[in-house]
């Protein structure tokens, strides 16, 4: 994902952390889109009824839902580490979001210092930040892969006689442009690969 020895000269630690938080927000959006898309594929009328409630799902529920959808689509093996990785990234996001103090470490400009709500210090090295960013990217790629799988199964809403409903909702759009070749990225990794490792 990047050089673990330190940030490039043009990028400070704080801007990297902001990018990481933005990536996490996009991951949340992607999980919500996955759920909406999968619901529409499996039970279109329920999808319409729940459309406004999907975005209120908690982060813990998002991870469980993604794992359940992976099982529905026959991809459960790909998601054995998903919950642990998602929890690690969420814990960092929460620490930054709720910390009393978040800044580049005064002792090391390649590290991040966070003082949490209990006034305990937490220091993250550049290598740890790069690993968290890679974890977030891996989570997103897994979700987008499932979204692609679910998207191809979406059926238009129909009446019992097979005619299309005139008030069918528009197709659900993904929250961002997705990259390609997810199968290669996710399924063809070495057996000893861990989320966050270099690809």
Q: What is the pLDDT of residue 167?
A: 42
Quote the pTM value. Answer: 0.70
User: What Rg value do the Cα atoms of the chain yield, rounded?
Assistant: 19
**Positions of the chain with pLDDT under 70:** 1-11, 150-199
Q: What is the pLDDT of residue 87?
A: 93
d(CA 96, CA 80): 27
Spacing of C-alpha 196 from chain mean position: 13
The model's pLDDT over 169-195, given as tens digits with 9 standing for 90+, comes to 334 343 333 344 444 444 444 556 555
Q: What is the pLDDT of residue 75?
A: 85
Q: What is the pLDDT of residue 5?
A: 58
Q: What is the pLDDT of residue 89?
A: 95
Q: Are strands 101-104 and 121-124 parallel, antiparallel or unpaired?
A: unpaired
Q: What is the pLDDT of residue 199?
A: 43
Phi-psi label, residue 181: left if phi above 0, alpha if psi -120 to 50, beta otherwise:
left
Q: What is the pLDDT of residue 151?
A: 60
Q: Where are the domains of the chain?
A: 13-187
């Amino acid at each position: 994902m990047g050089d673990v020895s330190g940030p490039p000269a043009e990028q400070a630690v704080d801007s990297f952390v902001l990018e990481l938080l933005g990536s996490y927000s996009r991951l949340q959006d992607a999980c919500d889109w996955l759920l909406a898309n999968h619901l529409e594929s499996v039970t279109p009328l329920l999808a319409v009824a729940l459309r406004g409630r999907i975005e209120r799902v908690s982060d813990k529920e998002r991870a469980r839902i993604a794992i359940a959808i992976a099982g529905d689509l026959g991809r459960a093996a790909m998601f054995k580490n998903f919950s642990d990785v998602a929890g690690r990234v969420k814990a960092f996001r929460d620490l930054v979001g709720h910390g009393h103090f978040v800044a580049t470490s005064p002792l090391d400009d390649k590290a991040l210092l966070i003082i949490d709500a209990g006034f305990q210090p937490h220091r993250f090295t550049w290598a740890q930040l790069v690993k968290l960013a890679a974890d977030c990217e891996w989570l997103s790629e897994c979700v987008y892969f499932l979204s692609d799988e679910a998207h191809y199964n979406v059926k238009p809403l129909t009446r019992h006689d097979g005619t299309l409903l005139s008030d069918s909702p528009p197709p659900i759009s993904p929250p961002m442009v997705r990259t390609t070749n997810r199968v290669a990225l996710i399924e063809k990794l070495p057996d000893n690969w861990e989320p966050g490792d270099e690809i």
